A and B are shown apart, each in its own frame.
Chain A
Amino acid sequence: AQSVTQLGSHVSVSEGALVLLRCNYSSSVPPYLFWYVQYPNQGLQLLLKYTSAATLVKGINGFEAEFKKSETSFHLTKPSAHMSDAAEYFCAVSGPGGYNKLIFGAGTRLAVHP
């Protein structure tokens, strides 16, 4: 069965520092993976997706993620954090059964301090 584990429910970085949000997946089929961002009192917005093309995926707002099959990981990174990056981030994997459902991780709250 498909599942996603996000390591660290809270991550705090300084403005300008590297952002690293961790996501490990379990999948019985080749995974399709996604990162979403949620700002306060908003819905989720797609940051980037991996759909079996390039293993390094670039998304919006300067974020990128690398698919590593050997480590079953899809970690999200950004070289330099901005205050506006403070939000909740969710990793998701496409579920079984006709590819119709996404399975979400528990989320990681990113705080950026001056």
Chain B
Amino acid sequence: EADIYQTPRYLVIGTGKKITLECSQTMGHDKMYWYQQDPGMELHLIHYSYGVNSTEKGDLSSESTVSRIRTEHFPLTLESARPSHTSQYLCASSEDSRNYGYTFGSGTRLTVV
């Protein structure tokens, strides 16, 4: 059973729209991450957070932004969606990644038309 939830699972939206992808976890983990994954491709870290009011950009440049106002919630926002943003977005959390790794959500598959 998932303790980290992503909504929506699938989203098709028009160019120029503002969207927010939701990610929530019930495990009390301090560390949360957003990855972008194109079909059949590797994972790219785009944002991470080590706790409330802490956010950092990842290895892959992204036009998205994130916030961390509550421990359990780590939403990702695109102010103006473009077709190049079409991808799968995976959220993960961890208390101690070295010893336990990450727990992943089921992902949001975004299509911008």
Interface on A for B, CB 8 Å cutoff? 32, 34, 36, 41-46, 49, 51, 88, 90, 92, 94, 99-102, 104-107, 109
A32 to B40, Cβ gap below 8 A? no
Separation of A45 and B100 alpha carbons in the complex (Å): 12
B91 nearest CB neighbor, chain A only: A43
Distance in Å: Cβ of B74 to nearest Cβ of chain A? 14
- Which 10 A-B pairs give the minimum distances between C-beta atoms? A99-B98, A43-B104, A106-B42, A44-B104, A94-B98, A34-B101, A43-B106, A104-B43, A32-B98, A43-B107
Distance in Å: Cβ of B32 to nearest Cβ of chain A? 11
A42 to B107, Cβ gap below 8 A? yes
Distance in Å: Cβ of A13 to nearest Cβ of chain B? 18
A109 to B45, Cβ gap below 8 A? no
Interface on B for A, CB 8 Å cutoff? 6, 31, 33, 40-43, 45, 48, 50, 90, 92, 94, 96-107, 109
Separation of A99 and B95 alpha carbons in the complex (Å): 10
Distance in Å: Cβ of A27 to nearest Cβ of chain B? 12
The residue that A100 contacts in the complex, of B6, B50, B90, B107, with Cβ under 8 A, is: B50
Separation of A51 and B101 alpha carbons in the complex (Å): 10
Among B43, B45, B105: residue with most chain A CB under 10 A: B43
B42 to A105, Cβ gap below 8 A? yes
